[in-house]
Amino acid sequence: MCNCNCRFNCTLAAVISSVIVGVIAAFLQITGTITVGTAFLWVALGIGVVYLAGLLWASALRRRVENPQCLCRALNALLTGALGTILFALVLLAVGIVATSILSAILVGVLLFFLWLTVSASACYIRCTTDCE
């Protein structure tokens, strides 16, 4: 059974931790504690593209699914995180970032939400594919 007989939902933990990281990043951006440069945005875009290519490669190689419910939840979160990271990195690259702008802080928070969702959902995906749930 996936998720230790439903006692622990890895993707829910990934989403909750991503919300926390996004809110903290938005707060730190609006207070001017951190600044997000174009180099970070290009790296975030690259991470999103690499994860998307990795998902395409992994789905092409994987034919048999032992636990489809768990795998589908992890893949949905991972795909959402990768696509959101790509989208918001492109938006922030196109718009530009102002250090004390509320809109920039919100966009940076959403970008970090999706970036962290990508990383944490990949941990859920690995746990699910190796049957360590």
Nearest to 50, CA basis, from 112, 115, 95: 115
Which tens digit of pLDDT belongs to each residue from 45-68?
999 999 999 888 877 776 665 656
- The tokens describing 37, both together, are 């440069």
The pLDDT confidence band at residue 4, using thresholds 50, 70 and 90, is very low
- Rounded to whole angstroms, how far apart are CA atoms 43 and 89? 9
Domain presence at residue 1: no
Q: Is the pTM of this model over 0.85?
A: no
Domain presence at residue 35: yes
Which tens digit of pLDDT belongs to each residue from 68-106?
666 777 888 889 999 999 999 999 888 877 767 888 889
- Rounded to whole angstroms, how far apart are CA atoms 55 and 61? 10
Domain presence at residue 3: no
Domain presence at residue 68: no
HSE-CB of 94 using CA atoms within 13 angstroms = 7
Total count of domains within the chain: 1
Domain presence at residue 109: yes
Domain presence at residue 24: yes
Domain presence at residue 79: yes
Write out the residue range of the structural domain in which residue 96 sits: 9-63+73-129
Domain presence at residue 41: yes
